[in-house]
Amino acid sequence: MGGESEEEMLRAFVSTATRNFHWISLPAVDFVWTPNTYGLHRECSVTHPQLYLLLEDRNSQEFTQEETLDTQMETHIRRVLSLLLLLVCLVKFGLNAGRGGSHPGSSKSEGAAKRPSRSSEHKLGRCSYTFIVPQQKLKGALCVSTETARANGSETADLRAQLANQQEQLERLRMRLEQDGALASEVSTLRRESSTMNARITQLYAQLLHEVINKQEQAEEQRRLEELLLNTTLQVLQISNSYRELEKKYEALTSLVSNQSQLMTQLEKRCQISMVTKPRQEAESSALVQSNIVQNENSEHKVRNIQRDQSAPLEQKQPLQEIHGLLTMATDLPTDAPFISFPATKSPGPWQDCQHVLDSGESTSAIYLLRPRNSNRLFQAWCDQSRAQGGWTVIQRRLDGSVNFFRNWDQYKQGFGNLDGEYWLGLENLYWLTSQASYKLRVHMEDWQGRQAFAEYDSFNIEPESDWYRLRLGSYQGTAGDSLSWHSNKAFTTLDRDKDAYLGNCAHYQKGGWWYHMCAHSNLNGVWYRGGHYRSRYQDGVYWAEFHGGSYSLKRVTMMVKPLQPIQVLVK
């Protein structure tokens, strides 16, 4: 029974072991590897009473590259556990065998029975058992299956890996949720800040709109004040002109009264003398008086034909003629322009123009009496016989700012100023002068550093008053630059006659009368500023844009005209 139990145990062990191993060698058992349908086997004999466990590790070479490192490790662990289990079984088998061989209770009959078997086995020769184990192509690990089910390590590792992945995913989701929560809070904060900023911007816009409205109101008020100031300034200038006119009239009347007193004294003396003289002397005296009266009437006719009151008294020989001249001055004082006394002309005249004066042998620059051809107008003008071969009739001159050129239409029409200094000849006189022949214009300029320049135009004339004294200008030549051609074909404009192309009145801004366009490239009748460069709200100085620009007021300016043909051609 003991042998059967041991054999059964061995078979059970072998049965258990063969589940995971290809062959097993036991003591006194030869395992023979022979080629068969199941694979390759070999024969092995064991003569020693020891147990040899030969395991085929061929499967260790069959691990494919597709198996993972965890699977290989798990396979090796299972092999080691199987070896340990086999070792424990073998040790237990050895102990049981030892106990069976030295058991004292065994009968002699059994020993006798056994001996013949062992001797018979020994006599029969070597006994061998061959176990044919089919060759299996195992891809996974070889493990010993026990009765108790054990957990699969690879599945556990997979589950752990999946669990770790899920934990990582959960962690990432948690982090994303935290980030989304922070982003939501930031968005909420930004919305609150945006609403606050919108409210602030609305408030600032309202403040800005209020300030803009206030500035517009202030600008309108400022414009009204400026207009009021300009109107007041104009009224002051008019009152000042009226005052100067009245002052001149008063001086003339005072002189007249004084002369009348002297005349009365002289008449009284003559009456006393005439009472004792002879009738012949009385007749001579009456004839002389009549002759003086005739001469005075001729002189009065000439003075009344002079357009501007230039009060140039002729030489008087008799007291009666002096009285008559003073009376004429007192009755003919102008109201449109201030009365200014002029010196007497160089010679009686009258001439057609200053070229006629030069051709007549008068080469001195002075004041001469002129009467244009086909006209009965008598007026005085300054003749410049020194510049550019002489023969120039001066129509405008600026020297020292002594005359105000901010005048109305009638004053620019009749003329004003002092022939020895600053004056304007008059648009009506200029029309009759330039209509008798073809004239050229020369503008002479000087700055505050003494530099001089000129601009000359080969054709110059103006239209009658019905066409607002429109300017007609020819080609330019000179050194000052062309700043007047832009004004050609433009009507004359004053403060009370707006004929320019600008929406406003250029004369109002330029402070003078001129052939304004929109408004001016030249403004020779503007305000005379001392020193050159000036500071003003508008460009209202005496400037020529091509010569120092519009913000530079020139020191001296002279406008003069001269006929293109010799004076002999003009005389019929």
Query: Once rounded to an integer, what is the mean pLDDT over residues 50-67?
Result: 42
Residue for token pair 């018979």 = 120
pTM of structure: 0.43
Read off the pLDDT of residues 462-482 as tens digits, 9 standing for 90 and up: 999 999 999 999 999 999 999
- The mean pLDDT of 31-40, rounded to a whole number, is 41
185-201 confidence digits (pLDDT tens): 888 889 999 999 999 99
Question: Measured on CA atoms in the order 455, 458, 462, 467, is the torsion positive or negative?
Answer: negative
Taking residues 129-153, what's their average pLDDT?
Answer: 54
For residue 427, which of 374, 497, 363 has the smallest C-alpha distance? 497
What pLDDT, on the 0 to 100 scale, is given for residue 566? 61
Between 440 and 154, the higher pLDDT residue: 440
Continuous segment of H or E residues that includes residue 366: strand 366-370
pLDDT category at 127 given cuts 50, 70, 90 is: low
Rounded CA-CA distance 15/26 in Å is 13
Better-predicted residue by pLDDT, 252 or 62: 252
156 — pLDDT class (breaks 50, 70, 90) = confident
Q: Provide the 10 A C-beta neighbour count for residue 342.
A: 19
Instruction: Using CA atoms of 357, 362, 363, 368 in order, give the dihedral in degrees to the nearest 10.
Output: -60
Higher pLDDT, 288 or 507: 507
Q: How many CB atoms lie within 10 A of CB 553?
A: 27
CA dihedral (275, 279, 284, 285) in degrees, to 10, reads 20
383-429 residue pLDDT tens: 999 998 999 999 999 999 999 999 999 999 999 999 989 999 999 99
- 315-358 pLDDT per residue, tens: 333 433 443 443 344 334 333 333 333 444 445 678 999 999 99
Q: What's CA 58's distance to the chain center, in Å?
A: 90
Domains of the chain in start order, with CATH, are 2-150 (no CATH), 344-570 (3.90.215.10)
Task: Please state, in angstroms and as integers, the Cα–Cα distance from residue 255 to each residue in 326, 329, 334, following that order.
Answer: 8, 11, 18
What are the pLDDT digits (tens) for 70-88? 666 667 677 777 777 777 7
Most confident of the following: 171-175, 240-244, 286-290, 525-529: 525-529
